[in-house]
Structure formats: C-alpha cells, structure tokens
Structure 1
C-alpha cells in the first residue's frame, strides 16, 4: 500500500511539473506494447513517459552538451541514476536512458535531468486580475464564468479546446463565481469534499492541493493533447494551476 500511495504522489507531481513548467505537446504512442506519452516541442521529443500501472519509465536522451552538464553535477544525483547513466549506450543522436520511477526520490532526480534537457518554457498566466474559486481554480479563465472576464468569441474558442481535451461538447452551464447567487455549487464535488472535512473551501484543507481539488485531469491519460489545449483546457481547472 505504501508503494501504491507513493506512486500516486509521483503521478500527481509528474503532471504538475510537466504541465505547470513546460508548454509541450503530449503525443500518445507506443513503447513496444506499452502506451507512451512523448512530450514534444515541434518535432523534437524532450522526454517520453511510458505508462505502466504501478510505475513510469522515463526515457531521456542526452546529447553532448547535456552530458557535459550532467557530468558536472554527477555527485548531486543518487547512485542508481549515476549507474543508469554510466551503463547507457551512446548513439550518434545521444545517450539513451530508461529510468523506472515509482518513488519521489527517483522522480526528483528525473526532474533535475529534465531541467538539464530543457529549461521550463511555460509562461505563467497574468495574476493582476485573477479571480480564484474556493477550489483554487481560475474563475476568470473558466469557460463557465459569467463575470465578464472572457468574451463570447473567446468562449467559443475555449469550447473547441475543451471539447478536444475532454471529449464533451456541452459547455452551456454558467456560473457567476463562488459565494454568489449564481454559483454553480450543487454538483461541485470539490466543495462538498471540503465541507465533509469541516473546511469552508478546498485551499484551507491540510491535504490541499490534491487530486480531488481538480476538474482537469488528475493524472496523465492515454490521449494526445496539444500544449495550448493544456494551457486553456486544463490549467485553469486544477489546484493553483500547477504553480503556473
């Protein structure tokens, strides 16, 4: 049970890191018989994640410059990462590594390797006029919000993006925001969860942020999603926008 709970944490933190820090297309493919998400900028794959039931395999390829950076920081990595690096074969296009990740220790090491591979490139949402719901979502960026922060023209664009992300075509529900007469709270599972635990909102809960405080995907699905669809179709609907 401990390993399962830790891997659940790994899945959540992987998504927060990859989607909150990077603007990359997520392209579904295969790694032998397993489903695999390749995170791409244009045609270049930055990292691939092979999806297993109880662990992830991260496939990372280091070119010459990246190998030099890694070797300069080698003593900062756990020994098992160093061993994988040393044993990995180097081909003309780089050193290929496949790293099993089912613990937070392994994930933190892989995060550092991804940062060597590519600097974060997702620009944060403007915060000047941000409106947050009790769940930590961005009301002002929400397709349902009626507070005048998005135009009807942009709402139609959001409908197209969210339909691609969630395979749902009905976005007619409207909400005027938390604590307003027009608040759509009757079916808000996030606030019901908070109330059951004795909190007025999600963000006050000691377990926040958690996978329940999200309407966006709680873990990576077997689906290709474009970087801009992640930005407008997922990030506004997750806890603290994954730090974005």
Structure 2
C-alpha cells in the first residue's frame, strides 16, 4: 500500500487557495478566534479613522504569499496578512515616516523598535512586518498608522 502524506498547516502559513478571496468564516478558522477579533478590530478602526478613504483590496500573491488585504489610496496605508494562527500587518515607512519614527524612537515599545531596526529598507521604504499577537501589538500598528497618515476627522 502506498502511504499518503497529509500536509497540515504550520503557524505562519498563508491562505493560498486561489479560487477566491477568503470569507470571514474561513479567516476566523484560519487565524483563530483571537486573531480574527484583532483582524476585525483593526479593520473597524481603519474605517472609523479614515472614513471613505480606503477601499480594502484583496491581493493574491501566489502559492507562497497567499492572500493579503491591502489598504491603499495613492500610497499604501497597510496590508493585513492572515496567516495560520497568526495575523500580521505590513507598514511601509517612507523617508518622512522613518524620520518621524526616529524622532519618537524612545517613546515606542522596545519590541517595536527591534522590529523596526531589523526590517529591511528598500528603495520605496522600510517594510515593517508586525505580528499582531495581543492588544499591545495592535496598538503599535494603530500608532504607526496614525503617524503615517493623520486621521480624516477628529475622532
């Protein structure tokens, strides 16, 4: 008899089924209830602070990168990455954002500064990938987004 190998997802695996962008029920199952709560909170927060500015856009990056949800107008605000049992947010920081980050360097959480220092800088900016594991991580993402682009209204 031939043995079949069942490949179970590993923490950090991407949603790579190409057929269609994932629905909320699949996202909740994939990233887990706590991750989905942070996913929902961050999406609602973006809608509240930037009303009518961004239309989230699902992007398929192939089998290895899977599905991501990008918030972009002319410049990207953030990209949310649903991973198996984990949620990450990507924030691309251009020159102006990096200068503002450095001005407040000692006010940020040490974990965020370490992620920032270890992130690669490309021609278009520093690509900072933030795992969103708890409320502190979620607040870091919100603070970076507020630094990157002031809210539309006085919320």
The TM-score normalised by the length of structure 1 is 0.45
Report deviation, 1:10.
Answer: 1.3
Would you say the 8 A contact 2:76–2:92 is kept in 1?
no
Matched, 1:34 2:66: yes
State how far apart, in whole Å, the 1-side matches of 2:57 and 2:36 are.
22
2:106 paired residue number: 75
Q: What's 1:54 paired with?
A: 85
Partner of 1:97: 128
Map of 1:107 onto structure 2:
138
User: 2:132, 2:126 → 1: CA distance?
Assistant: 19
Q: What's the offset of the Cα at 1:69? A: 0.7
Deviation, structure 1 residue 80: 1.5
C-alpha spacing 1:75/1:5, structure 2 compared with 1 (3 Å): farther
Alignment TM-score, normalising by the size of structure 2: 0.69
CA–CA distance in structure 2, aligned partners of residues 21 and 85 of structure 1: 24
8 A contact 2:67–2:81 mirrored in 1:
yes
How far, CA to CA, are the matches of 1:5 and 1:27 in structure 2?
23
The Cα of 1:5 is off from its aligned counterpart by: 5.2
Other-structure match for 2:46 = 18
Structure 1, unpaired ranges of 5+:
125-242
**Residues 99 and 20 of structure 1, relative CA distance in 2, 3 Å threshold:** same
- Do the aligned partners of 2:35 and 2:85 also contact (CA within 8 Å) in 1? yes
Residue 37 of structure 1, CA deviation: 0.8
In 2, the alpha carbon distance for the partners of 1:9 and 1:77 equals 24
The alignment partner of 1:99 has SS state of strand
In proportion to residue count, which structure has more strand? 2
The structural deviation recorded for 1:45 is: 1.5
